[in-house]
Structure 1
């Protein structure tokens, strides 16, 4: 099976490397960055700079770019993948986007005789490289069946939420409410502890063994302890994703005050110049307010 992966970022690279391990797959990765292409090629994959360079007759395309705009351009734009695909190929679109955008892209796929799976993912770069992402998917039975072998190779669990595109994206937006708020409150707790005179490492060690722990606290706060701002997921991602939460909430007349407050903290960190840094560094917003020094700054 000829498979394309569009977007060799932290999640896409892991997914593409997982697919290379499947003997029946011939995997091509798409990314404009030379370094990402070189890494994938070194692992044995075919690497190309544009979606329009995918092999003719590609049967499955997994899309792991940042947003709906990038996904649309990669699939249907002037340098998009659509003309290179086999008749009846399936698009697995895993970008985080508004449900209405997922429905719109699915309609564009249908008009070209392509199948579409709305399939956002979670699990981070580590989960992606382990082939252990969680997939929140919706699509027709035919689309899900054709996408099944690829989804199985990159995930530990595929949740099928229904036939209609948009349901997967709705679930991911709700999930991102939790993810964004958890990162923001993890940063708040760490900043409060530092401001109050606690040793940051001791605070971390206590929390991860106690009831107040969360996956995000345990996963993200080591980045703060180590002073590692390398963006596995960036501050600006949560500016976007929590914006999607607010849009969804407004569309169903639902109050979401915690999501709104968390988004303001990410916006504040972005405005201070930290938008491209690891999302744990939303803690910079608290640093600006309180004057604390982070562990590696002492």
Structure 2
């Protein structure tokens, strides 16, 4: 399959490498340059849309608007292209993209992913896919390369982003839950290592708890998923809740905590650095 890539950050780079390794022909456009063996670079985003499928992995709504919409690149897409947007974007913007793709006569599939760059490198992302069945089937071979499982979220692309935002919201709730539990147990003489051995061996043996408890134990928050991006996703969740007319108090708490972490200079650290505000005496680790 001929695949165009738009956005080669940490995640996009690993996805592109896996697609090449699987035998797909990949062309790519990226703002900041860079080289990936087997990937042919193109000069404009519109050129990356001259393929069977294009996969966009840009940072947010504004980046997609700037790169694809303001440049009118979407209207220059190759006939029959399926555009897969793997970025985490707002539900409201996803609704807008549905209308814009329809006007440009371009098939649109949502495919935000669960996983960090190391998971992407192993081709083990969980892909939350939504879109017209015919479009999904066309891009399924590529999605199967980048993900260990494709989760069908329905025919409407906005649904997939709602699910992704909700998943990220729940991860931050788990991080805050662990931090507050350590604050209680450690001040009463129980080492955090021993406490996490207990919860991982009983009630909470899941990937988020295993991944982020290790960071809290070491008080080291090397970036996997940056706190600044986590804050963006919690903002999207807050906006989606407001649009739905729902009050989500736990979301409000973790949104505020993540904002504190970013304001404290931890925006480039892993998003689990928010735990340091609770568990460390000076709040920064």
Q: What TM-score does the superposition give when structure 2 sets the normalisation length?
A: 0.88
- Please name the residue that 1:20 is paired with: 20
CA separation in 2, counterparts of 1:241 and 1:226? 25
CA separation in 2, counterparts of 1:243 and 1:293? 22
Q: Among residues 65, 69, 72, which one is paired with 1:76 in the alignment?
A: 69
- Please name the residue that 1:57 is paired with: 50
Q: CA deviation at 1:81?
A: 4.7
- Please name the residue that 1:31 is paired with: 30
* Aligned length, in residue pairs: 285
Query: Taking structure 1 as reference, are residues 199 and 76 closer, same or farther at Cα in structure 2, changes over 3 Å only?
Result: same
Q: CA deviation at 1:225?
A: 4.0
Q: CA deviation at 1:75?
A: 2.2
Structure-to-structure mapping, 1:169-208, within 5 angstroms:
169-208=161-200
Q: CA deviation at 1:279?
A: 0.6
- The 8 Å contact of residues 179 and 279 in structure 2, kept in 1 or not, is answered as no
Q: CA deviation at 1:60?
A: 1.0
- Please name the residue that 1:10 is paired with: 10
**Structure 1 residues 4-13 or 113-122, which shifts more?**
4-13
Matched, 1:105 2:97: yes
CA separation in 2, counterparts of 1:133 and 1:216? 14
- The 8 Å contact of residues 231 and 279 in structure 1, kept in 2 or not, is answered as yes
Query: Taking structure 1 as reference, are residues 142 and 74 closer, same or farther at Cα in structure 2, changes over 3 Å only?
Result: farther
Query: Taking structure 1 as reference, are residues 223 and 29 closer, same or farther at Cα in structure 2, changes over 3 Å only?
Result: farther
Query: Taking structure 1 as reference, are residues 192 and 49 closer, same or farther at Cα in structure 2, changes over 3 Å only?
Result: farther
Q: What is the RMSD of the two structures over their aligned residues, measured on CA atoms?
A: 2.6
Q: CA deviation at 1:242?
A: 1.7
SS of aligned partner of 1:264: helix
Give unmatched runs, 5+ long, in structure 2: none
- Please name the residue that 2:151 is paired with: 159
CA separation in 2, counterparts of 1:234 and 1:193? 27
Matched, 1:248 2:247: no
- The 8 Å contact of residues 19 and 150 in structure 1, kept in 2 or not, is answered as yes
- The 8 Å contact of residues 72 and 105 in structure 1, kept in 2 or not, is answered as no
SS of aligned partner of 1:253: coil
Summarize deviations over 1:250-269 as a string: whole Å, max 9, x none. Answer: 22332311111111110111
Q: CA deviation at 1:76?
A: 2.3
Q: Among residues 75, 82, 85, which one is paired with 1:90 in the alignment?
A: 82
CA separation in 2, counterparts of 1:203 and 1:71? 43
Matched, 1:126 2:118: yes
Matched, 1:219 2:211: yes
CA separation in 1, counterparts of 2:6 and 2:188? 46
CA separation in 2, counterparts of 1:127 and 1:167? 23
CA separation in 2, counterparts of 1:8 and 1:199? 41
Q: Among residues 277, 282, 285, which one is paired with 1:291 in the alignment?
A: 282
Q: CA deviation at 1:218?
A: 0.8
CA separation in 2, counterparts of 1:225 and 1:49? 45
- Please name the residue that 1:229 is paired with: 221
Q: Among residues 251, 258, 267, which one is paired with 2:250 in the alignment?
A: 258
Give unmatched runs, 5+ long, in structure 1: none
CA separation in 2, counterparts of 1:269 and 1:197? 26
Summarize deviations over 1:3-54 as a string: whole Å, max 9, x none. Answer: 122222332222222211222x1112333334xx23xx2x432345752453
- The 8 Å contact of residues 191 and 292 in structure 1, kept in 2 or not, is answered as no
Query: Taking structure 1 as reference, are residues 191 and 44 closer, same or farther at Cα in structure 2, changes over 3 Å only?
Result: farther
